[in-house]
């Protein structure tokens, strides 16, 4: 039996998804629920999702030890999707150490804690997807954010090598500016995103669709990759 078979306890594949209260994480959870998954959401604030196959709990992703303790009762897992995140901006001469530390804990530290705890529970054929950012390539005024998102590629490629013998894939989905409340965060004042060549921002449902594909058996040969979805911003 592989992890893509239905979970014996619920009859459904089971995904743990962070950040389901809003934005990309919510879109991913909604897509997986529509595709017949059971979803456990992890959020700092209560998720607004209401579905018979959705259950969640509140946890501070910046506190790995507390997060790990909360994962004890999650049970068997088919897939892990780490979508939670936030941005703090600043140019050289204005960088705040607490901004870098906070983003590192949520983007990288939480990814480590989640994967370290859940990967041993994944059966053959399991999936891990980390939501990165096109900004990882570098952007003026966003160096600290870019550094934390760039680190996800190193994690994903390393874990992909380790988990390949178990047919578990690990990938990063890296969106450009996406039309979510995050895009309108007041903390981004002065570093407004540039409209991509397609004349629109990425839709969260597009990120969710790509993520959902990577969780399918048909994506079993895709691993260790960072896949950009950018409406032409990388051209």
Does the active-site annotation cover 145?
Answer: yes
d(CA 57, CA 40): 8
Residue in 37, 54, 145, 182 annotated catalytic: 145
Beta strands in 20-100, from DSSP E residues, in sequence order:
38-43, 54-58, 79-82
For the stretch 5-11, contacts whose Cβ atoms lie closer than 8 Å and that sit 24 or more positions apart, written own/partner, are 7/38, 7/76, 7/78, 8/76, 9/75, 9/76, 10/38, 10/53
| Helix-helix angle 143-163:97-104, to 10 degrees | 20
The closest alpha carbon to 31, from 221, 190, 146, 203, belongs to: 203
Beta-carbon contacts of 1 under 8 Å, excluding residues fewer than 6 positions away, are 123, 124
Residues tagged active-site: 145
């Amino acid at each position: 039996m592989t992890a893509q078979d239905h979970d014996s306890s619920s009859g459904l594949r089971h995904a743990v998804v962070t950040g389901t209260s809003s934005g990309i994480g919510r879109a991913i959870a909604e897509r997986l629920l529509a595709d017949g998954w059971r979803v456990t959401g992890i959020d700092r604030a209560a998720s607004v999702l209401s579905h018979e196959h959705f259950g969640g709990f509140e946890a501070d992703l910046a506190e790995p030890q507390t997060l790990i303790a909360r994962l004890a009762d999650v049970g068997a897992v088919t897939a892990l999707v780490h979508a939670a995140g936030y941005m703090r901006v600043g140019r050289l001469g204005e960088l705040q150490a607490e901004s870098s530390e906070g983003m590192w804990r949520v983007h990288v530290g939480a990814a480590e804690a989640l994967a370290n705890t859940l990967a041993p529970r994944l059966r053959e054929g399991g999936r891990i997807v980390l939501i990165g950012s096109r900004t990882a390539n570098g952007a003026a005024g966003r160096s600290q954010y870019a550094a934390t998102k760039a680190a996800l590629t190193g994690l994903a490629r390393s874990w992909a090598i380790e988990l390949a013998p178990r047919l578990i894939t690990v990938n990063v989905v890296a969106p450009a500016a996406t039309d979510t409340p995050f895009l309108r965060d007041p903390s981004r004042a002065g570093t407004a995103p540039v409209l991509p060549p397609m004349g629109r921002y990425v839709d969260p449902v597009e990120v969710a669709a790509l993520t959902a594909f990577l969780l399918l058996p048909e994506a079993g040969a895709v691993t260790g990759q960072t896949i950009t979805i950018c409406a032409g911003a990388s051209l």
